[in-house]
């Protein structure tokens, strides 16, 4: 685990809860998507991201099987995960450093 990434995830959860009024269920889904992305990155710092990382993650999701039934992930699941990640990365761009 990357301590700075954990701090950013915590700050983003607070942002979602306080500024956006997101429900706990939504926050859990967002955090799960970010955590999966971080695992895909081998816990590389978010400050070292490159465009190829998000493109590779999309391919990873398209190739990954569902944990529930070993079938490919549904397109809606992929879109939701990528949407959560896009929002997080947009928020991350507003952060100093």
pLDDT above 70 covers a percentage of the chain that reads 100
User: All domains of the chain, ordered by start, with CATH?
Assistant: 3-93 (1.10.150)
**pTM of the entire structure?**
0.91
Task: Measure the CA–CA gap between 35 and 87, rounded to whole angstroms.
Answer: 14
Alpha-carbon distance values, 81 to 3, 43, 59, 71, 90 (Å): 22, 18, 12, 17, 14
- Summarised one tens digit per residue, pLDDT across range 23-56 is 999 999 999 999 999 999 999 999 999 999 999 9
Higher-confidence position of 67 and 82: 82
């Amino acid at each position: 685990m990357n301590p700075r990434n954990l701090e950013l995830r915590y700050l983003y959860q607070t942002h979602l809860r306080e500024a956006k009024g997101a429900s706990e269920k939504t926050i859990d889904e967002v955090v799960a998507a970010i955590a999966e992305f971080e695992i895909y990155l081998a816990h590389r710092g978010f400050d070292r991201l490159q465009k190829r990382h998000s493109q590779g993650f999309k391919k990873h999701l398209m190739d990954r099987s569902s944990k529930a039934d070993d079938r490919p992930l549904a397109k809606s699941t992929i879109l939701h995960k990528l949407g959560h990640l896009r929002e997080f990365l947009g928020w991350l761009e507003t952060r100093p450093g």
